[in-house]
Amino acid sequence: MENPEVYSDAASPGRESLGEGSADLEKLLQTAEAENLQMVKLIDTERQRSTEFQKQIEETIAWTEQLEESTKNLDVEAKQLHNKFKQNREICEGFSLNSLKKTSAVLDEHEEALRKKFEMISLERQTQLLQHQEDVEKYEKIWSRYARKYEDIPLAKELSKVKETAMNTEAS
């Protein structure tokens, strides 16, 4: 990134006053430099916003990984509960079948509640992830639009040519 202070002073060393005819050119350069500084600040702001959104996406990804780990734990827990259910059925075959049915119903309800909770959290995460991705794309488009708009400004084109000429002169 270019240092905005490099081009901020129209009367900086290296520029010679060419008389009254160059006053307009000096004003034009000052205007172009001011616009360039504004555009650089705007681009920096958009980059910061993009970085913030990227950080949020990374946090969401970490949260997703945590949810996936939690899901694995829930699956293990569900299998353990199912095995306990089988053991209880074998032990209690001589006992009341109604008692086992009630236990099974409670376990099934608990499993279904956990499954619904997981689905709800997963949907929320998906929605947040999509929203963050849309926001990042939106700000990338805005940044691109500002860059194109800046490049189309005649003063910016002229300033670019002046810089290029100065660089070529220095290189020679």
**Is 17 inside any structural domain?**
no
**Is 16 inside any structural domain?**
no
More confident residue, 99 or 23: 23
What does the mean pLDDT of the chain come to? Answer: 86
User: What is the reported pLDDT for 21?
Assistant: 62
pLDDT > 80? residue 26: yes
Instruction: Give the integer Cα–Cα distance in Å for 103 and 95.
Output: 13
User: What is the reported pLDDT for 120?
Assistant: 96
State the residue for tokens 């949020």.
56
**Is 150 inside any structural domain?**
yes
Q: Residue 70: which domain range?
A: 26-166
pLDDT class for 142, splitting at 50, 70, 90? very high
Instruction: Give, in degrees to the nearest 5, the angle at Cα 59 between 58 and 61.
Output: 65
Number of domains in the chain: 1
pLDDT class for 55, splitting at 50, 70, 90? very high
**Is 117 inside any structural domain?**
yes
**Is 88 inside any structural domain?**
yes
**Is 171 inside any structural domain?**
no
Q: What is the mean pLDDT of residues 103-119?
A: 94
**Is 59 inside any structural domain?**
yes
Query: 8 by DSSP, 3-state: which?
Result: coil
User: What is the reported pLDDT for 94?
Assistant: 61
Answer yes or no: are the C-beta atoms of 20 and 140 closer than 8 Å. Answer: no
Q: What is the mean pLDDT of residues 94-100?
A: 68
**Is 161 inside any structural domain?**
yes
